[in-house]
């Protein structure tokens, strides 16, 4: 059994040790991990414009991106890889709004430039190294 003094020393030493470990890992993530994994060097004005359109339309009110957002509509982190740019552009301006499986997405009537910006943003997000997120489906659907 530890005395009060020993318990206090043990607590302070443990707190300091784990604080140093936490700070070291945080610095490593900021210096090495985040820029490399997000490929920040490929962040273009078009990608930034797509992100701005994403935010203005409140897409996260229905969709998730990198696991963040609402769960009403599909997860879009890897939509560029799964569906491709043509599909994305079609869904954005689908006459009367896109409504698969009873869920309804409004018709945005974006210009070609705006659609290209959103596609560029979703492509950039999809190319991030997210350590296996989102996971591949556990079942394979028949084609």
Q: Which segments within 2-141 are labelled E, that is strand?
A: 64-65, 68-69
What is the per-residue pLDDT across 86-141, written as a single tens digit (0 to 9) for each? 999 998 988 877 877 777 888 888 999 999 999 999 999 988 877 777 777 676 66
What is the per-residue pLDDT across 5-48, written as a single tens digit (0 to 9) for each? 999 999 999 999 999 999 999 888 778 766 677 777 788 999 99
Other C-beta atoms closer than 10 Å to the C-beta of 125 total: 21
Q: Which residue in the block uniquely carries the two structure tokens 């989102």?
A: 134
Other C-beta atoms closer than 10 Å to the C-beta of 84 total: 13
Q: Which segments within the chain are labelled E, that is strand?
A: 64-65, 68-69
Percent of the chain with pLDDT over 90: 45
pTM above 0.85, yes or no: no
């Amino acid at each position: 059994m530890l005395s009060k003094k020993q318990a206090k020393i043990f607590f302070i030493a443990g707190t300091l040790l784990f604080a140093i470990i936490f700070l070291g890992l945080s610095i490593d993530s900021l210096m090495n991990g985040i820029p490399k994994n997000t490929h920040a060097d490929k962040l273009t004005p078009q990608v930034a414009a797509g992100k701005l359109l994403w935010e203005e339309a409140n897409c996260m009110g229905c969709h998730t991106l990198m696991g963040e957002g609402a769960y009403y509509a599909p997860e879009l982190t890897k939509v560029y890889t799964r569906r491709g740019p043509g599909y994305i552009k079609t869904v954005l301006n689908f006459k009367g709004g896109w409504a698969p499986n009873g869920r309804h997405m409004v018709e945005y009537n974006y210009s070609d430039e705006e659609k290209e910006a959103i596609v560029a943003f979703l492509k950039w997000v999809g190319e991030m190294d997210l350590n296996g997120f989102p996971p591949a489906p556990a079942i394979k659907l028949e084609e």
